[in-house]
Amino acid sequence: MALKVALLGCGVVGSQVIRLMREQADDLAARVGAPLELAGVAVRRPGRRRDTDVDPALLTTDAEALVARDDVDIVVEVIGGIEPARSLILSAMKGGKSVVTANKALLAEDGATVHAAARANGADLYFEAAVAGAIPLIRPLRESLAGDRVHRVMGIVNGTTNYILDKMDSTGASFSDALEEAQALGYAEADPTADVEGFDAAAKAAILAKIAFHSRVTAADVHREGITEVTAADVAGARAMGYVIKLLAICARSDDGRSFGVRVHPAMIPRSHPLAGVREAYNAVFVEAESAGRLMFYGAGAGGAPTASAVLGDIVAVARNHLAGTRGPAESTYADLAVHPMGETVTRYHVSLDVADKPGVLARVADMFARQDVSIQTVRQEGHGDDAQLVLVTHRAGDAALSATIQGLREMDIVRDVVSVMRVEGEDIA
């Protein structure tokens, strides 16, 4: 007997799910052990042109009724956003139906509610497509590495910002010119806020940290900085030193292992680092685990077909579980580690200062760093006279100490401007 799939949403991702289900029907049936059949497709505007052929008889604007149908076995949510996606998923689970979703926003904001509903109703919740599109990352973390201890997950999880930073690096373009190009090519939305301000990457970081460290994390726990302040001069300065600027999502255990930090911000990484070679809109994630060592996952982080590939993989897994009368992995938060504040994060910093070209300036600047116990690894002066800039790179220091140093520098009469402050990451790997 066929397993019936209710599809909620038929946009960029949903239309490709329908196409793949149709084109690969025989293979999918063989892999699952039963045919998969579309029970219905919920949309908002049924008359809209779709990217694939959809039987008009399957379309409905009543998603609630579709989810509640007795003959539906699996619900696939690719609407996005918090509501009505959350209510629909909860209704599906109440009816004992397993759910596949690509919804990072919902999982990062209120994953606990949907996971609890899955547990209470004996339903599966699979969400491979919610982080880094086609790249298998959730399953490796949830299943393949279930016997290991993950120390750090660090990656490029937003294609739009990677495209923009890559253009800035390779052509010398400004942020706004690179953004305009990304928009013209369809890599960035008309309203790019979610991407360029780091919200999208922060949602993914929350999901990754939760799985990696078996602890509760929401988007609100993630320290977030976007790329709108990154200038062409920052990119050129990094290039001159053999670094490249990337927007990184970093989830890292503290040295004592009792807490972890989750952050999204632009950072300089050495050009020899594997993540430095991730160009255009590609994504890549580096995972460091105690026994497995260093693993890297690379591929298309978005797009209709790549994301639908991840959704289909989940549909097959859920369908197999359904037939076997079993369930996939449940939410795992047993470790209950705390998320430490950003101020406790320890890393290195690259600081550019516009300073007066006078004797004694360097000593006074160095003293300001020393007062906060931030030690300087290198310092060099660029230009002279009115154009003089001091460029300092620190040893590892706490974020709170660095912030206090910057505050102190801003108040010094000899410092005309703090031109840029950028974290330096990944030197242990390069």
Residue numbers 124-163 binding ligand NAP by CB under 6 A: 129, 133
Question: Any contact of residue 72 with ligand NAP (CB under 6 A)?
Answer: no
Angle between helices 304-324 and 25-32 (to 10 degrees): 30
Residue 374 CA: distances (Å) to CA of 80, 344, 362, 400: 44, 13, 15, 10
Q: Name which position in 3, 7, 36, 80 contacts ligand NAP (CB under 6 A).
A: 80
* Sole window of 79-87, 181-189, 214-222, 253-261 interacting with ligand NAP (rule: CB under 6 A): 79-87
User: Nearest distance from residue 22's CB to ligand NAP, in Å?
Assistant: 17
CA 375/CA 397 separation, integer angstroms = 8
Of these residues, 204, 210, 246, 358, which one is catalytic? 204
Q: Is 104 a catalytic residue?
A: no
Q: Is 9 in the site for ligand NAP (CB under 6 A)?
A: yes
Minimum distance from CB of 12 to ligand NAP (Å)? 3
Q: Are residues 344 and 400 in contact, defined by beta-carbon separation less than 8 angstroms?
A: yes
Q: Which residue is nearest to ligand NAP (CB)?
A: 11
Residue closer to ligand NAP by CB (options 14, 261) is: 14
Q: At what angle do helices 304-324 and 12-23 cross, to 10 degrees?
A: 60
Question: Collapsing DSSP states into helix, strand and coil, what is residue 424?
Answer: strand
Is 258 a binding residue for ligand NAP by CB under 6 A? The answer is no
Give the containing element (helix H, strand E) for 97: none
- Helix (H/G/I), strand (E/B), else coil: 285: strand
Least distance (Å) between residue 309 CB and ligand NAP: 11
Residue 7 near residue 76, CB atoms below 8 Å = yes
- Say if residues 424 and 348 touch (Cβ distance below 8 Å): yes
The number of beta carbons lying within 10 Å of the beta carbon of residue 147 is 9
Site pattern 301..340 for ligand NAP (x: CB under 6 A): -xx---x---------------------------------
Site membership for ligand NAP, residue 102 (CB under 6 A): yes
Query: Which of 3, 4, 7, 14 touches ligand NAP by CB under 6 A?
Result: 14
Which one of residues 7, 20, 38, 42 is an interface residue with ligand NAP (CB under 6 A)?
42
Q: Is the peptide bond before 84 cis (omega within 30 degrees of 0)?
A: yes
Neighbours of 88 (CB within 10 A): 24
Q: Which 8-state DSSP code applies to residue 144? A: I
- Name the residue with tokens 């030197």: 427
For ligand NAP, the closer of residues 64 and 229 by Cβ is 64
**Is 108 near ligand NAP (CB under 6 A)?**
no
Candidates 78, 196, 284, 337: give the one binding ligand NAP (CB under 6 A).
78
Site string for ligand NAP, 355-394 (x = CB under 6 A): ----------------------------------------
Give the binding-site size for ligand NAP (rule: CB under 6 A). Answer: 25
User: Shortest CA distance to 172 belongs to which of 107, 245, 222, 105?
Assistant: 245
Q: Which of 31, 48, 279, 371 binds ligand NAP (CB under 6 A)?
A: 48
In the bound complex, what is the minimum distance in angstroms from residue 81's beta carbon to ligand NAP? 7
Give the whole-angstrom CA distance, residue 179 versus residue 166.
Answer: 11
CB atoms within 10 A of CB 338: 12
Taking phi first (over 0 means left), then psi (-120 to 50 degrees means alpha), and beta for anything else, what does residue 325 get?
left
Minimum CB separation of residue 9 from ligand NAP in Å reads 3
- Which residues here bind ligand NAP, judged by CB under 6 A? 8-14, 42-45, 48, 63, 78-80, 84, 102-104, 129, 133, 302-303, 307
Active-site residues, by number, are 204
